[in-house]
Amino acid sequence: MEQADAIIVGAGLAGLAAAAELGDRGKRVIVVDQEPRSGLGGQAFWSLGGLFMVDTPEQRRMGIRDSRELALSDWMGSAQFDRPEDAWPRKWAEAYIDFAAGEMRPWLHQMGLRWFPVVGWAERGGGFADGHGNSVPRFHITWGTGPGTMEHFARRCIEHEGAGLVSFQFRHRVDRIDMTNGAAAGVSGAVLADDTAPRGASTNRDAVGDFAFKAASVIVTSGGIGGNFEMVRRAWPTARLGPAPKEMIAGVPAHVDGRMIAISEQAGGHVINGDRMWHYTEGVKNWDPIWPAHGIRILPGPSSMWFDATGKRFAPPALPGFDSMGTLRAILATGYDYSWFVLTQKIIKKEFALSGSEQNPDFTSASWREVIRQRILSGKRATGPVEAFKAHGADFVVADDLDTLVAGMNRIGDVPLDAHKLRAQIEARDRQADNPFSKDAQMMAIHAARHYRGDRLIRTAKPHRFLDPANGPLIAVKLHILTRKTLGGLQTNLDSQMIGADGAPVPGLFAAGEVAGFGGGGYHGYNALEGTFLGGCIFSGRNAGRSTAIA
């Protein structure tokens, strides 16, 4: 039986952060993962690499005035903590804001991370200063996107592997956390058959042997439930969001299955806020899928018109990029689980980004030459991946006139749309485009966005008439609900120790990353501010690795 100081279940970003810190302390660590070594880094690999940071040089260079106090106000207004069990999540939220406004950037910079100079403005909010949303841009895209974020933690772990401190055990599926007298003693489970499937694709679950590893500390960093639609539907908060969608697409691979949550509970861990989740409303089916029901999220600028399945324009704050959960409720309240963007080529050129490292090869390559070629010197065309979705995606309709566009929408939609009703709404919006003044809330939001230098340069198109052929072609996109993140999870203290149902730490058990609600069992509360998923994995994994409870 192999023995170590600590066992980490999950080789994603949180697990790598914990292993790197433990290795720095000279601890012997076994990292166990059911996927092949090609999956090292987990979901972080597929991400855009966005990090929520506060009062950074990148922000100041863009004319953004941010502060710990403003960020904390935004976080608490978004989280809306309202349960007794939110005590630890609230402490985690405050600690993360301190980290994001303090040590985070210099620590990551020293490690080797760098960021795109234009800071993104995500989740702009529900309309009130004390409510949900980011008051200022805080979304820092890492040069190299997700791979560029995880590679530095992976490098540290691989160095420790070479020194004999970290041992990776891939294709090892943990079935039990072994406990002795109420304290962690190790993990055991099945060795799975080798699998050469590419990263993200489904792998076999064929058991070819058993294993048992022994350690007095077990850190669970196994991720959430987004790839397991059955678990998503079982946890779905119908009273708060409306009925679960009949059709969803997956923003994460099938191995994000949530199986370690119940295993951790059986060992003494305690799940809180299991009904809090974060799913996107701007999902499209991947025309070149890697995993089952593979979806990609559109990260939209503010200008696309958003219609429900029946062709009725959504009311604010259901605007592109403003309030994800508010828009999700609005969509599900229609009785349908899809909606529509209608936009122009000028908008898709400037405002459409697709989430994920593979959909942003210029940022992922960390090459200024590629960024300029893809985003500035491309004429009227959007980036290559966006144009590929426009040409091949099952959810995209392109036409030179509105009647033809609506005919195409009716071919792929479930509800027949009336071209006259759609035209009336678009014409009304177009009449607002000729002045710097408007009574249309979306037009006012566009003007406000263009006051920010970064949006004006690369993320918000100049207001224009949709029905002017010079701005075309017209484009419609059928949008699906895309599963993504689990906001609740295993309750932990600030050392990432699991807290049992009795409120006391469970000796030797730890959790970090998404399985712990990114800290405390749900440090986001009900809403995320974006860039806080990778940030939460890094912060909670780091806390676990530095915990003095691991002797």
Q: Distance (Å, rounded) from C-alpha 409 to C-alpha 342?
A: 10
Q: Specify the pLDDT at position 370.
A: 87
DSSP string, 82-95: -SGGGHHHHHHHHH
Q: So what's the pLDDT on residue 373?
A: 87
The mean pLDDT of 160-181, rounded to a whole number, is 98
User: 279-482 has which fold?
Assistant: Flavocytochrome C3; Chain A, domain 1 (3.90.700)
Residue 328 CA to residue 268 CA, distance in Å, equals 34
Contact 78, 96 (CB under 8 A): no
* Percentage of the residues of the chain whose pLDDT score is greater than 90: 95
From-to residues of CATH 3.50.50.60 in the chain = 4-216+487-546
Query: Where residue 368 falls among pLDDT bands split at 50, 70, 90?
Result: confident
Output the CA angle 260-44-114, nearest 5 degrees: 150
* ∠ Cα 389 246 262 (to 5°): 100
pLDDT at 10 (0 to 100):
98
Q: How many CB atoms lie within 10 A of CB 355?
A: 24
**pTM higher than 0.75 for the full model?**
yes
CATH architecture group of domain 4-216+487-546? 3-Layer(bba) Sandwich (3.50)
pLDDT digit string (tens) for 412-441? Answer: 999 999 999 999 999 999 999 999 999 999
- CATH 3.90.700.10 in the chain, residues? 279-482
Q: What is the pLDDT of residue 1?
A: 65
Task: Express each pLDDT in 274-330 by its tens digit.
Answer: 999 999 999 999 999 999 999 999 999 999 999 999 999 999 999 999 999 999 999
Report pLDDT digits (tens) over 509-528.
999 999 999 999 999 999 99
* Segment 474-498 mean pLDDT: 97
Q: What's the whole-number mean pLDDT along residues 37-60?
A: 96
Task: Indicate the pLDDT class of residue 126, thresholds 50, 70 and 90.
Answer: confident
CA atoms lying within 13 Å on the CB side of residue 200: 19
Summarised one tens digit per residue, pLDDT across range 144-161 is: 999 999 999 999 999 999
pLDDT at 512: 98
Where does the pLDDT of residue 37 fall: very low under 50, low under 70, confident under 90, or very high at 90 and above?
very high
User: pLDDT confidence of 534, banded at 50, 70, 90?
Assistant: very high
Mean per-residue pLDDT for 50-61? Answer: 98
pLDDT surpasses 80 at 76 = yes
Question: How many Cβ atoms sit within 10 Å of the Cβ of residue 247?
Answer: 12
Rounded CA gap, 81 and 344, in Å?
Answer: 40
pLDDT at 377 over 90: no
